[in-house]
C-alpha cells in the first residue's frame, strides 16, 4: 500500500513510529507537511499539490493534525477523502472531537458518563452556573485549550467567580466542570483502535498539580482497566466516529466519566509505559479496513 501521514514534523516520535511500522510491514509511506499541501477545489477532478507537484496514487492517509491547525488540516484531509483515499480518521470525526462542547453534547446524548458540565455566555449567570456543577472546588476549561493549557481549578466560589468574569470579559469560550476529587489527580488514557482498547495507562499529576498530562510533568504507569471502563472508551470513540482515539477517563464515585476524546493521541507515553507496538496495530487496522472510496462522508460532511 501507499500511505501518507499528514504531520507538521517528520521527527516527532508518533510520526516516526508510524513510518517505521508501515515500512516494516512492506508499505510505501510518505510524510506530508499539512500546511504545505494545497488544493485544486473548483475542478471536475479534485487534486492536492505539494511543494510544486501533484500528489497521486495514495491508498490511505493517517492524519496527525495539531489542534492549532484543525481547520486547515481538516480541509486537506477532506480533499484526500474526495479523491477516494481511505482516512484512518475522517475529517468530520476529527472536527467533531476537537470541538470540546459539541463532543460532550454528543457523548451525553448517547448516555456516556461525563462530569457535570456547564456552559454560559452572560456574567449574570455565573452564580447559578457554579451551583449547577456542585459548587467549588470546580474546574474551568478554555474550549480551545490543549495538553492541559487553559485549565484552571478554583478552590472557592469567589475564585471561580473572578476567573469566570475574567475569561468572559476576554470573550473566551469556557466551560465549567465538577471537580472529581476521588480521582486523586489521576486519569486513565485508553488507546482505542477499531472496536478495542489496545493499551491503557494511568497518568498521575505531580505533587501540587491537578492536571495529569505528561506534558505538564505527570507520570505514567500500567493499569488494569475494568470492563465498564473498556466499554466506555470504545463507545466514546464510536460516538465521535473515530477509528483511532485516545480516550481520557476519570474514576468517579458514579463510575467512569469521559474527560476528552483525542483524535491524534501521542504514541510515546503509551508505547513506553505498556510496551505495546501501538504503531504496528494502527497499520494493521488500516490493512484490514482499507478500501478505495471508503468514507462515510465522501468529503461532504
Binding-site sequence positions for ATP: 141, 178-179, 187, 211-213
Helix axes 91-98, 100-109, angle to 10 degrees: 100
Which segments are annotated as binding site for Mn(2+)? 248, 260, 262
Phi-psi region of 249 (alpha: psi -120 to 50; beta: other; left: phi over 0): beta
Element (H or E) spanning 148, and its range? none
Nearest one of 112, 69, 58 to 91, comparing CA atoms: 69
Q: Rounded to an integer, what distance in angstroms lies between the CA atom of residue 212 and that of residue 218?
A: 5
Give the chain's end-to-end CA distance (angstroms, integer): 26
* Positions at the binding site for Mg(2+): 248, 260, 262
CA distance 269 to 223: 13
Q: Which residues are annotated as a binding site?
A: 141, 178-179, 187, 211-213, 248, 260, 262
Amino acid at each position: 500500500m501507499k500511505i501518507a501521514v499528514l504531520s507538521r514534523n517528520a521527527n516527532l516520535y508518533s510520526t516516526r513510529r508510524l513510518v517505521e511500522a508501515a515500512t516494516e510491514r512492506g508499505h510505501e509511506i510518505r510524510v506530508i507537511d499539512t500546511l504545505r499541501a494545497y488544493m485544486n477545489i473548483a475542478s471536475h477532478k479534485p487534486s492536492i499539490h505539494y511543494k510544486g507537484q501533484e500528489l497521486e496514487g495514495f491508498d490511505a492517509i493517517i492524519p496527525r493534525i495539531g489542534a492549532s491547525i484543525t481547520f486547515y488540516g481538516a480541509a486537506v484531509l477532506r480533499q484526500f477523502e474526495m479523491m477516494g483515499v481511505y482516512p484512518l480518521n475522517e475529517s468530520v470525526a476529527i472536527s467533531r472531537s476537537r470541538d470540546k462542547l459539541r463532543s460532550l453534547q454528543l457523548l451525553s446524548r448517547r448516555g456516556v458518563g461525563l462530569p457535570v458540565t456547564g456552559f454560559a455566555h452572560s456574567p449574570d449567570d455565573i452564580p447559578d452556573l457554579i451551583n449547577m456543577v456542585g459548587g467549588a472546588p470546580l474546574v474551568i476549561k478554555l474550549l480551545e485549550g490543549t495538553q492541559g493549557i487553559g485549565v484552571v481549578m478554583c478552590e472557592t466560589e469567589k475564585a471561580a467567580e473572578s476567573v469566570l468574569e475574567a475569561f468572559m470579559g476576554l470573550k473566551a469560550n469556557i466551560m465549567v466542570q465538577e471537580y472529581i476529587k476521588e480521582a486523586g489527580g489521576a486519569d486513565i488514557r485508553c488507546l482505542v483502535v477499531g472496536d478495542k482498547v489496545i493499551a491503557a495507562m494511568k497518568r498521575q499529576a505531580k505533587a501540587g498539580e491537578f492536571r495529569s498530562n505528561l506534558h505538564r510533568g505527570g507520570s505514567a504507569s500500567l493499569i488494569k482497566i475494568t470492563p465498564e471502563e473498556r466499554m466506555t472508551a470504545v463507545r466514546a470513540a464510536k460516538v465521535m466516529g473515530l477509528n483511532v482515539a485516545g480516550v481520557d477517563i476519570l474514576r468517579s464515585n458514579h463510575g467512569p466519566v469521559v474527560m476528552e476524546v483525542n483524535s491524534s493521541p501521542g504514541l510515546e507515553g503509551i508505547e513506553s509505559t505498556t510496551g505495546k507496538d501501538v504503531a504496528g496495530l494502527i497499520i494493521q487496522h488500516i490493512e484490514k479496513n482499507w478500501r478505495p472510496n471508503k468514507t462515510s462522508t465522501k468529503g461532504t460532511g
